[in-house]
Amino acid sequence: MTISRRSFLGSSAAAIITAGAASRNSVWGANDRIAHAVVGFNGQGRSHINDILKESDAEIVALCDVDSNVMKRGVDIIQKATGKTPKTYHDIREMLADPSIDSISIATPNHWHSLMAIWGVQAGKDVYVEKPMAHSAYEGRQVVAASNKYDRIIQHGTQSRADAELIRDMKLLHSGFIGKVIHSRGVVYKNGNRNPIGHGKPGPVPDYLDWTLWQGPAKDKPFMINVDREKPGLYVHYDWHWFWEYGNGEIGNQGVHQMDIACWAHNRGKPAKVTSTGGRFGWDDDGETPNTQATQFTYPDGSLLTFEVRNLGSFYEGGPEAGASTNSAFGETGYWIHRRGFFDYKNKPIEVTEPAPEDLGRFRRFFNAVRSRKKSDVPVTVEDAHLACLLCQLGNVAYRVGQTLFFDGETETFVNSEEGDRMMKRDYREGFEVPDLA
C-alpha cells in the first residue's frame, strides 16, 4: 500500500498505522538485510551511520534531516562507504510512509524524540531513539504505552546498558556483593567542552534549514542568530540543549547516561522526594539551564540517589580510569566505582571472579532484537529508559520551581506542587501533538 505525500502529511495517527501495515514484518532469512533509516545526523546521528555501516546484516537505505547541508554530508559518507546512494527525506512523515524501511534510528534534538518514536512504531518500524527518550514525563509514559500497544522494538540510546563489564557489575550489585546499596551517585562535568554560548537576536533563517520542521512539537519561535559567535544560530545545531523549549540541560544531555547507571545500580524504581539546586554561574550568555546543579532523590526506604552537574570545572573523582563523568554506589559492606571496580571500606579492592558476558555493541543488540522480535534482546527496557529520563526531568522541575517536591510514583504527579505538575507536559504545536496512549 502506498499513500500520497499530500494525504499522508494531512493524515491522522490511524493513517500512519495503515501506511506502516505494508512494512516488511517477515521472518528474517540468513541473507536478508534489515533496511534502516537514520533521522537527524548532524551530531550523534553520525555515530549511528558509522556504527551501522559496520553491521553486515543491516543497510542504511534512507536518511532524513531538515538541514540540506547536513543531508549532503550524510549522503557523502554512505556513498563513500558503500558506493550506493540512500533515499533522502526532508519530512519524517514521508519517510515513515515508505514500506520498504524496516527500522529507524533517531538523533534529533530532544523535543522531537518521543513523537518520532511513536510515529515510527505506529508506522510499523522498529525504533532506536537517542537519549533522552522523552522531553517530559508525559512523553516518556506515551513511548512506553506505544511500545506495548504496537508491539514494536524500541531501544534507548543509553548505550551503557550494552556494556559487558557494567552488565556483570550490576548483576553483582543486585546480588548483594557489597551488601544492600544505600546510596547511588552520578556525576557529570564537561569543563573541557562546555563554555558560554553567546547571545542571540531574531534574524533570517538560513536557506538550507527548515525552521518550522526543526521546531516540530515545540512552540513557534523566531530563529535566533548568534551575535557573539561565528555560527549561524543560537540554537542550531547544538546549543538547543541549554533551552527548556528544546533541551533538558546537562542533566538530560550527558547526564542521562550516568542517571541510567545510577538507577540501574540503585534498583529501587521511582523516588518519593526530590530536591535540586544550582544555577548558571560564571557565564554571560542566553542559556537557560544550570551549569551547576546538585540533585538528591530520596526513596521510600530512606535510601539516596544523588546527582551532580558541574560544567565550570572539576576533577576525576573516581580516578583517571573512571573518567570525567562517572558513577559510584555505596553498600553496607563496600563500594563500587565505574571502571575501577569494588572496594571494602578500608579501600581494599574486592576481587571479582565472575566473567563479563559477551561484549555486543548497541546496534548489534538492536538488530538482534529486530530479527528475533524478542524485547528481552534489547539491553534496556523501555520502562527503564523512561525511569532514567524521568529522574532527569524530576530534577529539572524541582530546580525550576525552587522547592523540595514530593512525588507519587503511581500517578507520576507531585503531591505538593501544581506548578511542578504543569511542567510534566508541554503545550504542543497543532499537528505535532504527542498522543495520549497510556
pLDDT band of residue 2 (cuts 50, 70, 90) is very low
- Domain that residue 92 falls in: 5-161+364-380
Paired residues of 334 in beta bridges: 344
| 13 pLDDT above the threshold of 60 | no
pLDDT at 358: 86
Give dist(CA 337, CA 343) in Å, integer.
8
**For 11-37, what is the mean pLDDT?**
65
Q: Are residues 300 and 406 in the same domain?
A: yes
Q: What is the mean pLDDT of residues 340-367?
A: 94
State mean pLDDT over 344-361. 94
259-318 tens-digit pLDDT: 999 999 999 999 999 999 999 999 999 999 999 999 999 999 999 999 999 998 777 776
In contact, 116 and 141? CB cutoff 8 Å: no
For residues 94 and 328, give the distance between their C-alpha atoms in angstroms, rounded to a whole number. 45
Please tell me whether residue 407 adopts helix, strand or coil conformation: strand
Going by C-alpha positions, the residue among 47, 238, 18 that lies closest to residue 157 is: 47
Helix (H, G, I), strand (E, B) or coil at 72: helix
Torsion, Cα of 237, 243, 244, 247 (10° steps): 30
Reference 218, options 191, 197, 200, 236; nearest CA is 236
pLDDT in tens, 134-153: 999 999 999 999 999 999 99
Q: Which residue has the cell 525511569?
A: 387
Give the Cα separation of 55 and 327 in Å (integer). 30
Instruction: Say yes or no: 340 and 427 in one domain.
Output: yes
Instruction: Please state the pTM of the whole predicted model.
Output: 0.94
In degrees, rounded to 5, the angle at the alpha carbon of residue 56 between the alpha carbons of residues 55 and 59 is 75
Instruction: State whether 422 and 297 are in the same domain.
Output: yes
- Residue 83: pLDDT band (50, 70, 90) is very high
Are residues 214 and 97 both part of a single domain?
no
φ/ψ region of 88 (left if φ > 0, alpha if ψ in -120 to 50, else beta) reads: beta
In this structure, are 142 and 263 located in the same domain? no
Are 226 and 322 contained in the same domain?
yes
Of 14, 119, 20, 53, nearest to 361 by C-alpha is: 53
CATH of the domain at 98: 3.40.50.720
What digits encode the pLDDT tens for the residues 175-213? 999 999 999 999 998 766 789 999 999 999 999 999 999
Total domains, the chain: 2
| Residue 204 CB burial class (10 angstroms; 0-12, 13-18, ≥19) | exposed
For residues 134 and 210, state if they share a domain. no
Looking at the fold, whether 157 and 168 belong to one and the same domain comes out as no
CA 174 to chain centre: 25
How far apart (Å, rounded) are the C-alpha atoms in residues 407 and 387? 13
CATH number at residue 329: 3.30.360.10
Is the domain of 346 the same as that of 400? yes
Q: DSSP code of 104?
A: E
Cell of residue 349, nine digits: 579492592
Joined grid coordinates for residue 262: 545510577
d(CA 246, CA 262): 25
Q: Yes or no: say if 158 and 388 are a contact pair by the CB < 8 Å rule.
A: yes
> Binning pLDDT at 50, 70 and 90, where does residue 6 land?
very low
Same domain, 107 and 195: no
pLDDT band at 1 (very low <50, low <70, confident <90, very high): very low
Mean pLDDT of the chain: 92
In percent, the amount of the chain with pLDDT more than 70 equals 92
For residues 186 and 261, the answer to whether their CB atoms sit within 8 Å is: yes
229 and 243 together in one domain: yes
The SS3 call for residue 225 is: strand
d(CA 59, CA 33): 6
Same domain, residue pair 266 and 212: yes
